[in-house]
Amino acid sequence: MNKNFKIVHETPSRLRYKYLLLKEDFIDENILKSYLENIDGVSSVRINKKAYSVVFNIVEDIKENIEDVLRKLTLDDLLSTDCVDNAVCVNCVSSEKPSLSGVARASGALIAERFINNNLAKATITTTAAIPMLMEGTKELFTEGLTSKVLESAAVGISVYRRDYLAANSTNAMLELGEYIEETTVHKSDDLLKELSKPNVKEAWVEKTDENGKKVEVLVETENIEVGDIVVVAAGSTIPVDGHIVHGDASVNQVSMTGEAEPIKKQRGDRVISGTVLEEGRLKIWAEHVGANTATQRIKHYIESSLNEKSSVQLKATRLADKLVPVTLGLAGISYLFTKDFERVASILQADYSCALKLATPVAFKSTISKAGHDGIMIKGAKSIEALSNVDTFIFDKTGTLTKGDLEVIEVASYDEEWTEEELLNLTASTEEHYFHPVAEAVVKAAKQRGFVHMHHEEVEFIVAHGVKTEVEGKLVVIGSRHFLEDDEQIDFSKHKDRINKSLDEGKTLLYIGFNGKLLGTIALADQIRSNSKESIEKLRQLGVNHIVMLTGDVEKKAQMVAKELGVDEVYSELLPTDKASIVKKMIDEGRNVAFVGDGINDAPALISANVGISMSKGADIAKATADVSLLKDDIDAVVQAKELSNKTMNLINTNFKATVGINSAILGGATLGAFSPIVTAVLHNGTTIGLLLNSIRGVKK
């Protein structure tokens, strides 16, 4: 058995495998399905992601070929494939620009026919110009049944049969012009999406150790970079990985990923994401996410998923358009029975709903996904937009959403008169600066803000889940938890018990510093509420959200203080991680449409349970993978932007929908009563379609 798959069942025409690649967080079964269906000899593929199952229906014995593909296929291959026949792949969106040849051909015939008196010559020119459309209509009739293309071709064919060459050429020219504008509109929409799916950085410099133990920089292909590698990036280069800075200061332009126009200063300990550009400076980055797990690849995956997904309103529009084709055809038939007027029939056949109904809706969704993506908001498809527009309840996991998620030093307390607060902070920072622990990073950051002066110390010993040890001037320094200092190192806390308990009652997180066997002092840290959290909650209410909930593991007293400050409606405190999903389900059972906003590994069940899951930028990978909306910028206002975009998009789609049905019904009625000639009907119908498409591609205002 291969480590990537095992065969579960086989017959001459069917193979079933357990495929472990389906366990990957970022894989999309639709993309995998389309990829596997391209194998020669495979008639169809069925995938069950939850069961890690792939079923192949085959027309010949190709078991060996299939297993060879399954053996070699990786997530990177799947997301970077050219997939020419794969309808859900960004790379497959045609890069070929729409052609004006059809418009030129039809317009040329329209003009030439006006200057020719010979009927045979007129018929020849008109028929030649109309043949491509007539052939397409005939082909579509046999392959897809009655469609708008069939009706349009019939209208042109009837005009040619009646020798009404002006009507035939005018109609043909208008249809070709309309089709060109439709193709241009969709092409521009897809270009916006493709722009977000940036090409990968092909090569990068990685720090290696040579045979002599010296550090050297080696140019490697980015696909060969591994987690834990030190990637070196110089000014002007694109960062190829997601990770932490271990050395250097730089100015990083993140506009392509987060929408922030101004370059951001980055230094040791800061996070950086792939796809951003280093403008000044030089950085060494510890690679945390590589290959298909980087931010740029996740964006690409989101886009590929969105292209494959249809919302209920989109499906409704498609079904309605299909149902109305026979109605149009039926009216044309009834009209001919009563009037025997082929001109009226040709006019009726042009008043079709399909183009505007089927094209305007997906273009509006694509436009919104693109605009949101440029602002660092990744929306996973049309369904997510529609669901978010219906949300009336927002549930926030407090830490990392309503709060910054980063500890900050709020107080330094020295218990020894010989040590100032600055000296105590410098001692702690000098010892802690070697580690990426959130507490250590907060202490070092605070020391730098106050003018950090490094204090010489001996080698630092890190004790997992306890703290650190070192020596300064021959005296032992211990920094960490109370348990570490009081129980393990036997440091007396009794003299400062009341002061410590007061800080703890106020909800502060304390870091304890011991020096030469005595408690030297404490550093209080807290996760600060975001400056715009309250404002964002108020904006959500203005967008139709009537219930705001906060979840936290904090004690009841502290939770109520935060809830009161922010103005939330309901708060759940002292929660276990497993409680979050049950609260989400409870509110859904009450009839609420719920959006859950979180960022932790333990938030994944709640993100899945909610009608819409939104993951914050610093969230765990599993949170981002299960979310419907993933934020690339660390700003709670992005949640508001996502909700606002969704509301406006659905309003735009509903407006287009009503306009399409109303205007085209009026045109159809006029054509049926003989009020409009085929030329007038073509102008009105195509003009409406073009207007609605342009309205959709313009999209909503941010």
Q: CB 351: neighbour CB atoms within 10 A?
A: 27
Residue 128 confidence (pLDDT) above 70: yes
- The C-alpha atoms of residue 604 and residue 613 are separated, in whole angstroms, by 9
* C-beta of residue 236 within 8 angstroms of C-beta of residue 253: no
Asked whether residue 27 carries a pLDDT value surpassing 70, the answer given is no
Which pair of structure tokens corresponds to residue 699? 């999209």
Q: Which residues pair with 527 in a beta bridge?
A: 407
401 Cα distance to chain centroid: 18
Per-residue pLDDT at 300: 58
Give the DSSP letter of residue 493: -
pLDDT at 400: 81
Q: Which residues form the catalytic set?
A: 397
Q: Note whether 375 and 641 are within 8 A (CB).
A: yes
Contact 591, 391 (CB under 8 A): no
Closest C-alpha to 38, from 51, 21, 56: 56
101-110, 275-284, 530-539, 605-614, range with greatest mean pLDDT:
530-539
Question: What is the percent of the chain where pLDDT is above 70?
Answer: 82
pLDDT of residue 624: 62
Predicted confidence band of residue 537 (pLDDT cuts 50, 70, 90): very high
Report in angstroms the alpha-carbon separations of 238 from 199, 251, 658: 11, 12, 46
Could you tell me the end-to-end alpha-carbon distance of the chain, in angstroms, rounded to an integer? 53
Residue 434 has pLDDT above 90, yes or no: no
Tens of pLDDT along 643-687? 999 999 999 888 888 888 888 889 888 888 888 887 788 788 777
Q: Label residue 321 by pLDDT band (50, 70, 90).
A: low
Residues 91 and 35 sit within 8 Å (Cβ to Cβ): no
Residue scoring higher pLDDT (18 or 262): 18
Contact by Cβ (8 Å): 398, 650: no
| Sheet strands (E) in 290-420 | 377-379, 393-397, 403-414
For residue 646, the model assigns a pLDDT of 94
Q: What's the alpha-carbon Rg for the chain, to the nearest Å?
A: 32
pLDDT confidence of residue 544:
94
Work out the pLDDT band at 491, boundaries 50, 70, 90.
very high
Average pLDDT across the chain, whole number: 81
| Over residues 283-307, mean pLDDT | 69
Q: What percent of the chain has pLDDT over 90?
A: 24
